[in-house]
Amino acid sequence: MTTLRSPARALLLAAWLAVVLVAGLYVSRTLQVSGDLRLFLPAPRTEEQHLLLEGIGEGPASSVLLVALEGDDPRSLADLSRALVEAVRDRPEFLRVDNGETALGEIPEPLMAYRYLLSPAMDEGGLDVPRLRQELQSRVRDLLSPAAALLEPLMTRDPTLEVVRLAESWTPAAEPARFEGVWFDGERGRALLVAQTRAAAFDPDGQQVALDALADAAGAAGVAAPARMIVSGPGSFSALMKQRTQSEAQRLGMAATIGMLLLLALVACGGPRETCYTWIDDCGHGGSQDRSVLNAAPLEDES
């Protein structure tokens, strides 16, 4: 069996490594890695299935982060909750943040635009002349009531107060407890908030940016020991899943690369037996005579 000489082996190994390097560069530029778990679901075939998948990945509920502040007395946690809302409200990574103190002026703009389509009152009678006259007379009475300061900003845009009716109809029967106007758990040990991110739920990079922005806002709001912030939700799980998967993949890939390089080095040197001979020759302990001794058959017992 012919054996390649050392220069030929080195040239062959260099050529093989060059091919692997070119293939790696091609894969790194063309491979698209996605953290969207919807890829594991069957492909949608109907409009309802498309809508379901869209809601899972990009719906409002899927991009909501649940935030809790704990570790301090209830009054301090309520103050931190208000400060955190102010710090997060103008962040571009978030669409909305709420701690239970939502005012009428903070109603989302999309709800204002579609208030008449969503209101069941339009199905009953619409905006005919008698109803519109009745509603305007009611607004005159509202301006004389203690609630005039709250309702006046809405009257010019929504004289029938359909948004208020929608908010009342959508108010859940049970909601978190309140202390000083903000949400708390039943034992007043945690102040509760909800924040809707601009990134989709299965966009781990975007969710990580939002989590970092939330941490920066918490620091700016004064959330420090003994108080601390806890974040949960689909976006938080997505970012955590990516971190763990990436860390495990890097460790396994490094171990596989080291093992492959050791195997290639072993093969390039002619295998374990030839490597042993080379090591013995380099040490100057016998040369070809030692190799013949290693190849000799074991001596038989003279007795």
Q: Each residue of 281-297: pLDDT tens digit?
A: 554 544 444 444 444 44
Q: Model pTM?
A: 0.64
Q: Tell me: do 115 and 223 sit in the same domain.
A: no
How confident is the model at residue 68, as a pLDDT? 94
Q: Tell me: do 112 and 250 sit in the same domain.
A: no
In a domain, 265, yes or no: no
Q: Of the residues 135, 162, 189, which one is the last residue of a structural domain?
A: 162
How confident is the model at residue 84, as a pLDDT? 94
Where the chain has pLDDT below 70, the residues are 1-6, 33-37, 102-108, 123-126, 268-303
Instruction: Calculate ∠ Cα 104-56-216, nearest 5°.
Output: 60
**What are the two backbone dihedrals, phi and then psi, of residue 197, each rounded to the nearest 5 degrees?**
-85, 155
Strands (E), the chain: 64-70, 94-98, 177-179, 182-184, 190-197, 228-232
Residue 301: DSSP 8-state: P
- Tell me the CA distances in angstroms from 302 to 92, 148, 269, 294, 299, one per residue in order: 91, 119, 39, 20, 9
What total of structural domains would you count in the chain?
2
Residue 57: CB atoms within 10 A of its CB come to 18
In a domain, 296, yes or no: no
Q: Tell me: do 93 and 185 sit in the same domain.
A: yes
Q: Tell me: do 203 and 185 sit in the same domain.
A: yes
Strand partners, 68: 192, 230
In a domain, 146, yes or no: yes
At residue 303, the 3 state secondary structure works out as coil
CA distance 84 to 214: 9
Question: Which residue range is the domain that position 154 belongs to?
Answer: 108-162
How confident is the model at residue 296, as a pLDDT? 46
In a domain, 90, yes or no: yes
Longest distance between any two alpha carbons in the chain, whole Å: 128
Q: Tell me: do 224 and 126 sit in the same domain.
A: no
In a domain, 263, yes or no: no
In a domain, 139, yes or no: yes
Q: Tell me: do 76 and 112 sit in the same domain.
A: no
Q: Of the residues 162, 186, 208, which one is the last residue of a structural domain?
A: 162
CA distance 223 to 35: 31
CA distance 183 to 52: 31
In a domain, 2, yes or no: no
Q: Tell me: do 52 and 75 sit in the same domain.
A: yes
Task: List CB contacts of 87: < 8 A, sequence separation 6 or more.
Answer: 217, 218, 220, 221
CA distance 41 to 92: 31
How confident is the model at residue 142, as a pLDDT? 83
Going by C-alpha positions, the residue among 208, 214, 198 that lies closest to residue 64 is 198
Q: Tell me: do 226 and 136 sit in the same domain.
A: no
Residue 72: DSSP 8-state: S
Q: Tell me: do 195 and 219 sit in the same domain.
A: yes
Report yes or no: 194 and 187 within 8 Å, Cβ to Cβ: no
Q: Tell me: do 138 and 193 sit in the same domain.
A: no
Q: Tell me: do 140 and 55 sit in the same domain.
A: no
Give pLDDT tens digits for 94-133. Answer: 988 999 886 555 566 777 778 888 877 776 666 778 888 8
- Name the CA dihedral angle for 180, 182, 184, 190, rounded to a multiple of 10 degrees: -90
At residue 276, the 3 state secondary structure works out as helix
In a domain, 243, yes or no: yes
Q: Tell me: do 91 and 184 sit in the same domain.
A: yes
Report yes or no: 83 and 222 within 8 Å, Cβ to Cβ: yes
CA distance 84 to 69: 10
At residue 4, the 3 state secondary structure works out as coil
